[in-house]
Amino acid sequence: MWKKYKSQMLSATPMRLFALVFAFVTLNAHAQDTKEVQPWVLSAAQVHQGAVVMYQKRIAELDAAQLLDTDADFLVKAARILTRLRAQAALDFPESRDWRWEVHTSAEPEETAYAMAGGKLLLSLEQARLWNLSETELAMLIAHEMAHALLAHNQDEYAFVLDQFPEWRLRSFAELEQAVDHDTQLIKALAPLGKEQEFQADQAGWRLAVRAGYPIAGLLRFFKKLAKLASYPNFESASHPAPAQRYARARQWAIAPDDSAASNAR
Ligand SMILES: [Zn+2]
């Protein structure tokens, strides 16, 4: 759930609780007693369940504030795109075949697009309106968010934290879940990895959308808007690569004779 409240859509990929196939996370409360860290296998089901709880909590908050799915037409469009992309994802990432993908929209101005473990998506109505996204451009955004989940980026993040900060092996998974969003030290330490993951999500999302049949010109326009609408297109943010750099990479994929430029996305 880190990077939850960034101001850039797509460039912000807050909730990073994506699908874990099996995260070999060593967490054990008893380890404090024994001074020995017991291996504790974190299953995909556990991680997905944790994500579902957080997702439902956020959905309920938005609902209570009358900020949930306030634009029926946009929601229908997003759901249609998700249906198309998830069908392709089921082929390219077979482990996602049984995921219960879900998409909702938030009218909260500060909310940004994000994806959670197992395919729970939240999109920002405000950003979609400001960016005036076409169907294909929206598909690129959704594909990018889906890619974070499909690439199990959170698994890498947890593994990174447990490797670099072994003391976290003695804490519970729930604490770690919160910490990657809120612990300043961890957020800072994870930033370089997060930026690399943004590039990966761009690339894998691009490939997913292309394979699902979306026109390249429209997908590229998404990145053009990303660069054009950024306040400082040539500068990276605390959590994201420079928009101009992302656009430049997408231009390379667009001129590739096939999708080989993106074929190493996984
Ligand atoms: Zn992202």
CA of 148 to the centre of ligand 1 (A): 7
Dist CA 239 CA 241 (whole Å): 7
**Whole-number pLDDT of residue 226:** 92
Give residue-wise pLDDT tens across range 34-68: 444 444 556 677 777 888 888 999 999 999 999 99
CA of 61 to the centre of ligand 1 (A): 23
Which among 65, 178, 52, 177 has a CA at the least distance from the CA of 111? 65
Q: Are 10 and 109 in contact (CB under 8 A)?
A: no
CA of 144 to the centre of ligand 1 (A): 6
Model confidence, pTM: 0.82
Dist CA 265 CA 199 (whole Å): 9
CA of 107 to the centre of ligand 1 (A): 20
CA of 188 to the centre of ligand 1 (A): 17
Beta bridge partners of 122: 104, 114
Segment 181-205 shows an average pLDDT of 94
Beta bridge partners of 252: none
Query: Rounded to whole angstroms, what are the CA distances from 256 to 31, 227, 245, 263?
Result: 52, 21, 17, 11
CA of 226 to the centre of ligand 1 (A): 12
Query: Rounded to whole angstroms, what are the CA distances from 170 to 25, 36, 160, 190?
Result: 11, 9, 15, 19
The lowest-confidence range among 9-13, 168-172, 261-265 is 9-13
CA of 68 to the centre of ligand 1 (A): 22
CA of 28 to the centre of ligand 1 (A): 31
Residue in the structure block whose two tokens are 């993106």: 262
Angle separating helix axes 184-211 and 135-150, nearest 10 degrees: 120
Strand, helix or coil at 2? coil
CA of 196 to the centre of ligand 1 (A): 10
Segment 196-219 shows an average pLDDT of 97
CA of 147 to the centre of ligand 1 (A): 8
Residue in the structure block whose two tokens are 């997060």: 194
**Whole-number pLDDT of residue 236:** 83
CA of 145 to the centre of ligand 1 (A): 6
- Order of strands, sheet of 120-124, starting from the edge strand that comes earlier in the sequence: 102-106, 120-124, 114-116
CA of 34 to the centre of ligand 1 (A): 39
**Whole-number pLDDT of residue 256:** 80
Dist CA 87 CA 259 (whole Å): 18
